[in-house]
Structure 1
Amino acid sequence: MLPRLRLLALALVVPFALAACADAPQGMELDADAVVDGQIPAPPNVDGPPDNAETSDSGLAWIVLEPGDGETSPTPADMVRVHYTGWQTDGTMFDSSVVRGAPAEFPAGGLIPGWVEGLQLMTEGETRRFWIPAELAYGDEPAQPGAPSGLLVFDVQLIEVLSN
């Protein structure tokens, strides 16, 4: 009798487990052990770009964490689907689509200048870490209440360019 109950329990649980896997968000995988009180710990180089980072003339710095598998790069006119996490230089995470469990969709040209520039450098499937100076983000004293200030660090995965 006990083996039959185990089989019945397994038969009831497996379909739900498989359905949950099918609904998992695309892109950056969230390591549940890495989240502490709803926060993803900051990378060790959150206070500034490492020596191997590339830097544009505007001051945007980046490293490629994972190369993309696509050939499409967004333009400011495109919509994009991304996963991202943002930190301040003190290590405080201020936003994350990864923690929310759903990728975000944005107009690539309707974001802070550092994102607009950085997204155009990426291809689909790629993950980069960006160091965005205050002048390409919200500034040192943001006009928008609650906006992070100063240098910001983002891990961004370009999942898909939705229009091109």
Structure 2
Amino acid sequence: MSDMDRRAPVANTLESRFPVSYSIYAMARVQRALAATGLADLGLFPAQEILLTELDGDDGRSQKALAETMGISHVTVAKMTARLERAGLVARRTSSTDRRVSLVFLTPAGRSAQEGIRAVWAGLEAIVNRELDPQAKQDYLAGAAKIRRALDASGSGDAGE
């Protein structure tokens, strides 16, 4: 590896002016790209695995409950669920107690996808933990929790799928 390869990237204008916000953006962008690569091998797009994992822990949830848990709009969950249903990973059924409510269930294929999803996320976790000793990890999580609270308090946005 040459000295040129070892140099830190030059900060861009946004990074120079807004280092914390840019850091969040940059980490999220790279994490999402890495996740997308692993999930593509499973036939999934980022965020779809979140919905599938939520159902693995509590099957038969309403789309509204999934939207609230995932922090995205009901419309986004409805679109995501439709795509996952077409892929054979989930099935929607009307609630027997409220005909207006659509419940989402994993199919056998959706259950089978869980191992691959866990492998993708375990790989992501291993990558990010390479540089973190236990104290640095604890400090990061504490700081990230504060940032999430600040962002949540400023208003809710829909990250989409």
TM-score by length of 1: 0.25
**By percentage of residues, which structure has more helix?**
2
Report the structure, 1 or 2, having the larger strand content.
1
Higher RCO, 1 or 2 (CA under 8 Å, sep at least 6)? 1
